[in-house]
Homo-oligomer: A and B are copies of this chain.
Amino acid sequence: MTSHDRPGPDTDETLIPVVQMRRPRWGDPERVTELPGAAAALAGDATPNPGVDPSSITPPAPAVPASVRADLERLVGDAHVADSADARIQHTRGFSTPDLLRLRSGDASDAPDLVVYPGDHDEVVEILRICSAARVAVVPFTGGTSVVGGLAPDRSGFAGVVSLDLRRLDRLVEVDDISRVATLQAGLRGSAAEALLRERGWTLGHFPQSYEGAGIGGYAATRSAGQSSAGYGRFDEVVEGLVLATPRGTVELGTAPRSAAGPDLRQLVLGSEGVFGVITSVRVRVRPAPETRVFDGWRFATFTDGATALRRLAQDGPLPTVLRLSDEAETAVNLADPGQLGADATGCLVVTGYEGRAPEVPRRREAASEVLADAGGTLLGEEPGESWRSGRFAGPYLRDPLLDAGVLVETLETVTYWSGLHDLRAAVTAAITDTLTASGAPPLVMCHISHVYPAGASLYFTVVAPFGADPLAEWSAAKKAANEAIRAAGASITHHHAIGRDHRDAYHDEIGALALDALRAVKNTLDPAGICNPGILI
- Residues of A bordering B, CB below 8 Å: 176, 178-181, 222-225, 234, 236, 240, 246, 248-253, 255-273, 276, 285, 287, 311, 315-316, 357, 414-419, 451, 453-456, 490-499, 503, 507, 510-512, 514-515, 517-522, 524-526, 537-538
A285 contact set on B, CB distance < 8 A? 454-455
Bound Cα distance from A269 to B316, whole angstroms:
29
A253 contact set on B, CB distance < 8 A? 511, 515
Decide: B518 and A257 in contact? CB cutoff 8 A: no
A416 contact set on B, CB distance < 8 A? 255-256
A415 contact set on B, CB distance < 8 A? 256-259
Decide: B262 and A499 in contact? CB cutoff 8 A: yes
Decide: B525 and A518 in contact? CB cutoff 8 A: yes
Q: Which residue of B lies closest to A526 (CB)?
A: B518
Decide: A494 and B267 in contact? CB cutoff 8 A: no
Bound Cα distance from A455 to B258, whole angstroms:
9
Bound Cα distance from A312 to B415, whole angstroms:
33
Q: How far is the CB of A263 from chain B (nearest CB, A)?
A: 5
Q: Which of B234, B258, B499, B503 contacts A258 (CB 8 A)?
A: B234
A178 contact set on B, CB distance < 8 A? 311, 417-419
Decide: A522 and B511 in contact? CB cutoff 8 A: no
Bound Cα distance from A93 to B518, whole angstroms:
29
Decide: A251 and B514 in contact? CB cutoff 8 A: yes
A357 contact set on B, CB distance < 8 A? 316
Bound Cα distance from A307 to B248, whole angstroms:
41
Decide: A268 and B271 in contact? CB cutoff 8 A: no
A255 contact set on B, CB distance < 8 A? 416, 490-492, 510
A257 contact set on B, CB distance < 8 A? 415, 417, 453-456
Selected A-B contacts with CB under 8 Å, 29 pairs: A178-B311, A178-B417, A178-B418, A179-B455, A225-B258, A251-B515, A253-B515, A255-B416, A256-B492, A257-B455, A257-B456, A260-B496, A260-B497, A260-B498, A261-B271, A261-B492, A261-B498, A261-B510, A262-B273, A263-B267, A263-B268, A263-B269, A263-B519, A267-B267, A285-B454, A514-B526, A517-B526, A521-B522, A521-B524
Bound Cα distance from A326 to B371, whole angstroms:
38
Bound Cα distance from A514 to B515, whole angstroms:
20
Q: Which residue of B lies closest to A311 (CB)?
A: B178
19 extra A-B contacts, CB within 8 A, seeds A256-B495, A264-B271 = A178-B417, A179-B418, A180-B418, A225-B260, A240-B417, A250-B514, A255-B492, A256-B491, A257-B415, A257-B417, A257-B453, A257-B455, A259-B494, A261-B494, A262-B498, A262-B537, A265-B515, A287-B315, A521-B522
Decide: B264 and A236 in contact? CB cutoff 8 A: yes
